[in-house]
Amino acid sequence: MSPVGAALSCSCLRPLAAIQKKSFLGLHTAARCAAKDYYEVLVLGGGSGGIAMSARMKRKVGAGNVAVVEPSKTHYYQPLWTLVGAGAKHVSASARPTERVMPEGVEWIKSRVTAFDPDKNCVRLENDVKISYKYLIIALGISLHYEKIKGLPEGFHHPKIGSNYSVHTVEKTWKALQDFKEGNAIFTFPNTPVKCAGAPQKIMYLSEAYWRKTGKRPKANIMFNTSLGVIFGVKKYADALLKIIEERNIAVNYKCNLVEVRADKQEAVFENLDKPGETEVHEYEMLHVTPPMGPPDVLINSPVSDEIGWVDVNKETLQHKKYPNIFWYWGLHQPSNIKNCCGCSCPIWSA
């Protein structure tokens, strides 16, 4: 196996160990558009995962041989949004121009992937541009589907409701937290895989701490309504979290999935997953929504995906089952049904 293949197929991927020693002064400040139609390593997606892997691969195959396909001019460090929603950071602190976080020697292709042709080792971009590769890393992240909840996303125009999962709604979480007076504070977890499965609880604990600090805690009935049958998918952490929940007097409702928001009435409707079709309405003084999520549209029904739309990889190595030169990378935000392969944090995004 080549050095690139060996590095990519490692069960933990080790994308970060060597990067931690690299100075952030190596990040370029001028955008460079790709002029080539072939790369040793092509990375789809310029989030934290895609940027981390492009930096590592550039050191393996050399400058000019790695490219990142990313249409967005702004890169958001999404893990910071938990602190934005809790009022500890401003949303502007999570943003950088994409050109500033693209590693030096890595080409930035300012476009969007539209189709896969793995049998020919190429992808198609907007304007029918074709790019070929030796190795492909798919780091497209996960799509948010607020629209699958009746009443959203239009409900976010009302007060008392927010979501840390979108740059457009994260500041509304902090506003709802500040404006809380008395009543139910509801935090949700959907009936789909999610990125960063701990984030729906993190904002709940930060909210509880804020209300204790401001003297509002006795007036807050904090509820965690989760579609899961457990508080967290890993027992070791679930046991620890249950102790915290008991200590902080937080109510947990299992198999409880948010299906509708009546924002004008401050009501949230939940379906009992053990009794499909049976619903219960909760009034809220604050509602934090974790939206349903799914694979990006470009992956659905693509030749690199399974029947659901996720990239069809070995869950231990994240290497494609049919195409050994294709890999899937989630970076910081693993969906809740995929094991975290290394448990690390990404150091390539500098403050």
Q: 270 in a domain, yes or no?
A: yes
Of residues 75, 66, 59, 27, the one with CA closest to residue 44? 66
Of the given ranges (204-213, 300-309, 330-339), which has the lowest mean pLDDT? Answer: 330-339
Q: Taking 80 as the threshold, does the pLDDT of residue 330 lie above it?
A: no
Percent of the chain predicted with pLDDT > 90: 81
Query: Is the same domain home to 284 and 300?
Result: no
| Phi, psi (deg, nearest 5) at residue 183 | 135, -155
Where are any strands of DSSP class E within the chain?
38-44, 66-69, 74-76, 95-97, 106-109, 113-117, 122-125, 130-138, 143-144, 161-162, 183-189, 220-226, 251-253, 256-262, 267-272, 279-283, 286-288, 293-294, 326-328
Residue 11 and residue 316 in contact, taking contact as beta carbons nearer than 8 Å? yes
The residue among 270, 293, 316 that closes a domain is 293
Q: Over range 124-145, report the average pLDDT.
A: 96
Query: Is the same domain home to 97 and 226?
Result: no
Whether omega before 118 lies within 30 degrees of 0, making that bond cis, reads no
What was the pLDDT predicted at 3?
Answer: 43
**Tokens matching residue 328:** 């899937």
Question: For the CA atoms of 174, 176, 178, 181, what is the dihedral angle to 10 degrees?
Answer: -160
Q: Taking 60 as the threshold, does the pLDDT of residue 25 lie above it?
A: no
- Total count of domains within the chain: 2
Q: Over range 84-106, report the average pLDDT.
A: 97
What size, in residues, is the chain? 351
Q: 22 in a domain, yes or no?
A: no
Other C-beta atoms lying within 10 Å of the C-beta of residue 103: 24
Percent of the chain predicted with pLDDT > 70: 84
Of residues 134, 159, 161, 135, the one with CA closest to residue 149? 161
The span from the CA of 294 to the CA of 300, in Å, is 10
Q: Taking 70 as the threshold, does the pLDDT of residue 4 lie above it?
A: no
What was the pLDDT predicted at 331?
Answer: 55
Q: Taking 60 as the threshold, does the pLDDT of residue 6 lie above it?
A: no
DSSP 8-state assignment for residue 213: H
Query: Is the same domain home to 184 and 316?
Result: no
Of the given ranges (20-34, 54-68, 271-285), which has the lowest mean pLDDT? Answer: 20-34
Q: Taking 70 as the threshold, does the pLDDT of residue 20 lie above it?
A: no
Other C-beta atoms lying within 10 Å of the C-beta of residue 47: 25
Of the given ranges (3-12, 94-103, 172-181, 184-193), which has the lowest mean pLDDT? Answer: 3-12
Q: Taking 60 as the threshold, does the pLDDT of residue 341 lie above it?
A: no
Name the strand (E) or helix (H) holding 80: none
Radius of gyration for the chain, computed over Cα atoms and rounded to the nearest angstrom: 21
Q: Taking 90 as the threshold, does the pLDDT of residue 224 lie above it?
A: yes
Query: Is the same domain home to 281 and 164?
Result: yes
What was the pLDDT predicted at 233?
Answer: 87
Q: Using N-to-C axis directions, what is the helix angle for 199-214 and 170-179, rounded to 10°? A: 30
Other C-beta atoms lying within 10 Å of the C-beta of residue 96: 16
Q: Over range 187-211, report the average pLDDT.
A: 96
175 vs 330, more confident: 175
Query: Is the same domain home to 221 and 271?
Result: yes
State the pTM of this model.
0.84
What was the pLDDT predicted at 35?
Answer: 53
Domain of 196 in residue numbering reads as: 145-293
The span from the CA of 11 to the CA of 68, in Å, is 23
What was the pLDDT predicted at 133?
Answer: 98
Residue 230 and residue 238 in contact, taking contact as beta carbons nearer than 8 Å? yes
Which residue shows structure tokens 């915290």? 244
Q: Taking 70 as the threshold, does the pLDDT of residue 339 lie above it?
A: no
Q: Over range 137-151, report the average pLDDT.
A: 97
Q: Give the amino acid at 151.
A: G
Q: Taking 50 as the threshold, does the pLDDT of residue 344 lie above it?
A: no
Q: Taking 60 as the threshold, does the pLDDT of residue 15 lie above it?
A: no
3-state secondary structure of 207: helix
Q: 340 in a domain, yes or no?
A: no
Q: 349 in a domain, yes or no?
A: no
Residue 136 belongs to a domain with what CATH number? 3.50.50.60
Query: Is the same domain home to 301 and 323?
Result: yes
What was the pLDDT predicted at 36?
Answer: 86
Query: Is the same domain home to 223 and 169?
Result: yes
Query: Is the same domain home to 203 and 137?
Result: no
3-state secondary structure of 251: strand
Q: Taking 60 as the threshold, does the pLDDT of residue 85 lie above it?
A: yes
Query: Is the same domain home to 149 and 280?
Result: yes
Relative to beta strand 161-162, strand 286-288 is parallel
Residue 327 and residue 136 in contact, taking contact as beta carbons nearer than 8 Å? yes
Where are any strands of DSSP class E within 59-145?
66-69, 74-76, 95-97, 106-109, 113-117, 122-125, 130-138, 143-144
Q: 18 in a domain, yes or no?
A: no
Average per-residue pLDDT in the chain?
87
